[in-house]
Amino acid sequence: MKRITGLDWPLIAAATCLLALAAVGGLWINSFDDPNAGVIPLLQTVPYALAVWLVVKLPPGGANERRAVVTILVVAAAMRLMMLPGWPVSTDIYRYIWDGRVQAAGINPYLYLPVDEALVTLRDGAIYPYINRAHYAPTIYPPASQIVFFLITRISETELAMKAAMVAFEGLAIWAILQLLAARGLSRARVLIYAWHPLPLWEFAHSGHIDIAAIAFLMLALLAAERRSPVLAGIALGAGTLVKYFPIAAGPALYKRWDWRLPAAFLATIVVLYLPYIAAGPKVLGFLGSYLREEGFERGAGIFLWQLIGTLAPLRGDAFAFYAPAAAAIMAALALLVIMRERRPGADIAGAMLLAVAFTILSSPHYAWYFAWLVPFLCFYPVVGVVYLTCAASSLYFAHWPPTVGESALIYGPCAVLLIAELAWRRRQKMEQRHGDAIAA
């Protein structure tokens, strides 16, 4: 079996289980907001965790690595093909298609609500009835997302086309991951850690979330930084930030001290991408501010650390006003640490992962797909606590909205314990290694 596939039989067994569960889930989950959408991904975490443990032990290179990578990607593609025809759990994809259609009609998508009479001729029975927040929310998606929506819908205004495009962005992200793994001297078979992860599989191939485009651009930015091309890194980071804003949190890990080229390219990209939509004025920010209020972020709803503080000490109603500045200060301190510390030339993937994990924990997203951007970093640093965090995120499908402190604790509690335990274990290993080197000397 290994001679043909490049994988040992336990990995083949794990792949078989993942494929079988994907097939079951693709048929079983067939409605919006189906809480069962969290069940299959959680079941898949068992064979997935086994596969991660096995693939991390594989050495780089070797006669079987090429066959192993091909087999891993074939299994990943097969699972995604099973997901593509399925009914999306989220209705976000219909807003994507609608925004593309509006732009094709020569209309700025930030100017009108879907229910506005100016757009009445664009309505149909296939897309319009499923647009979320159609009666009160303009689009929330930034300009790079809008460009993606426009280009995809010029090919086809269907859910299948949009999901297929997101899978294509996954292919771009996987290509960048493979290049980075090779540059770091790591086994390219580690791409399995992303390609077989249940979270991207369900959120991108099944529900078609645009977040994967931001992830792909972030991986391209890291690859450009690894190849000492700060201008390309700045352009890719800017494009990713204007797909979804979260890549900016990892930006300091791409920056080389006193080098103005990356920030200049980043800012120029932001300006260029906003220009086609600038006629909307302040409306170009879309529904972002209202969305944050709707999600309850202005009062700390569902933010785990704030909920935890509230269970330990009584809090005034306006006390959350101090949380956002404190979280921003923590992120600024971590960013400064990443920028100032000594590091190898090229991309600081470890620093980017630190910032991404910290940002995710501090913001405590209410939806599973917001955790998916952490998964590519695991290919380079398979931290057990972060593996758990990204897998447990699927439990949000059957949690309350926003999640209660108990539901959040099931996600973040074990993650914290595992992170602390792994940090202590790694520190002990380093101390033992130094002690052994001293004895040998």
Band of residue 92 on the pLDDT scale cut at 50, 70, 90: very high
Domain locations in the chain as residue ranges = 2-440
190 touches 56 (CB < 8 A): yes
More confident residue, 162 or 8: 162
The structure's pTM equals 0.94
Q: Which position has the token pair 């006003």?
A: 321
Higher pLDDT, 240 or 299: 240
pLDDT for residue 292: 67
What's the pLDDT score for residue 324? 87
* Unique residue bearing structure tokens 């645009």: 210
Cβ distance 93 to 208 under 8 Å? yes
Of 440, 107, 138, 83, give the one whose Cα is nearest residue 286.
138
Q: What is the dihedral of CA 165, 373, 267, 261, to 10 degrees?
A: -110
User: What are the tens digits of pLDDT across the range 159-215?
Assistant: 999 999 999 999 999 999 999 999 999 999 999 999 999 999 999 999 999 999 999
> Can you give the pLDDT at residue 440?
56
How many angstroms separate the CA atoms of 227 and 222, rounded? 9
- The pLDDT score that the predictor gives to residue 234 is 98
Q: How confident is the model at residue 436 (pLDDT cuts 50, 70, 90)?
A: low
Reported as a single tens digit per residue, the pLDDT across 318-377 is: 788 889 899 999 999 999 999 998 887 888 999 999 999 999 999 999 999 999 999 999
